[in-house]
Amino acid sequence: MRQFELDSLTEYSNEAILEEMRRVAALFGGGPLPREAFKKLPSKVSATTIGRRFGGWKKALRAAGLAHLDVNSFPSAYQEKIDRGRKMSNDDLIAEMQRVHSALASDVLTSKEFDRSSVTHSDVIRERFVHWKTALEAAGIAQSEAGKRYTDERCFENLAAVWTHYGRQPRLDEMKIAPSTVGPKAYILRWGTWRKSLKTFVDWANAEGQAGIPTRTISREVPSQQVVASARKEEDCREVRPGLRFKVFLRDRFRCVACGRSPATHLNVELHADHIKSVYDDGKTIFENLQTLCQDCNLGKGRTSVP
């Protein structure tokens, strides 16, 4: 069964490397992106490889359309804050976050609020702690509740819908536009980084115990009759669980197996996980008995099967 591969690039062409730089830059959250900061971020290609391929870090940023993230392109006032912060210890930076938080008398502390009131800049915080969320935890400051209104299942189903729409792994900025209904900030706040969000989604989509997938080892404390009954009920249910539906789409390359259309290439195409052998004919809701059909082909199949 096809699995995801997220830990390394599938190819090391110039464009693939540049696209990876853009993805990592989006995770960084703004401000200059020096080579040392890039090394601490979850990238599929090393800063050393990038430098060698493009003849230096500054040239690589320019090739990726990220020249504005070069430290030398920022105003002197900003650079002064950066220089001051880099001379501070981790404890000093934490103390500065706590000072600003106390002065603002706010329940939470955003990076923008910090930048307006601090002697340093949030980009230094990210250089040291990688993520603003991690620094907030170290400082004992509450995090914003934004993005936590969605359940994990809701976030996963939305990501599956966007992945299906593009027929590939979506980029972070694509979560801002339709068909996504959950913004990128919700994923970053919940799981820390976009890469961790994708990894958690992958684990969910590839999870054991879904219909048609081998179950986990059963505890001896659970009666075997109860387990069998539970599995039988799920297989006999007509509804296809979101994780299983996505695995079917992934196997069929996000295309209708009947007409070949895909949401990525044809406007308004909606994919369905269709039972090859109907539930009414004792067909099971398992991976092997499901196929990807577009809405038109699925409805057409239903019409032709009526006596």
How many other CB atoms sit within 10 Å of the CB of residue 8? 10
Question: pLDDT category, 264, cuts 50, 70, 90?
Answer: confident
pLDDT at 105 over 50: yes
Contacts of 56 (CB under 8 A, 6+ apart): none
Tell me the pLDDT band of 229, cut-offs 50, 70 and 90: very low
Q: Taking 50 as the threshold, does the pLDDT of residue 147 lie above it?
A: no
pLDDT at 28: 65
Mean pLDDT over residues 189-209, rounded?
82
Considering the chain, what percentage of its residues have pLDDT values greater than 90? 26
Distance CA 158, CA 44 (A): 24
What is the distance between the alpha carbons of residues 204 and 199, in angstroms, rounded to a whole number?
9
Asked if the model's pLDDT at residue 215 lies above 60, the reply is: no
| Interval 18-52: pLDDT, tens | 988 988 887 765 567 788 878 877 788 989 999 99
Asked whether residue 296 carries a pLDDT value surpassing 60, the answer given is yes
Q: State the pLDDT at residue 56.
A: 92
- Give the pLDDT confidence score for residue 191 in this predicted structure: 85
From 1.10.287, 3.30.160, 1.10.30, 1.10.1200, which CATH number describes the 224-304 domain?
1.10.30
Residues 6 or more apart whose Cβ sits within 8 Å of residue 201: 155, 156, 159, 160
Residue 95: other Cβ atoms inside 10 A = 13
**Tokens representing 135?**
């620094």
Can you point out the beta strands (E) in the chain? 271-275, 290-294
The Cβ of residue 133 has, within 10 Å, a number of other Cβ atoms equal to: 17
Mean pLDDT over residues 222-245, rounded? Answer: 63
- In the prediction, which pLDDT does 17 show? 92
For residue 97, pLDDT beyond 90 = yes
Average pLDDT, the chain: 80
Nearest to 248 by CA among 199, 302, 197, 293: 293
Does the predicted TM-score (pTM) go above 0.75? no
Please say if the pLDDT value at position 165 is more than 90: no
What is the residue extent of each domain of the chain? Answer: 14-72, 75-139, 152-205, 224-304
Cβ neighbour number for residue 25 with a 10 Å cutoff? 21
Amino acid 268: pLDDT? 82
SS3 content of the chain, % helix, strand, coil (to 5): 55, 5, 40
Query: When comparing pLDDT for 43 and 98, which is higher?
Result: 98
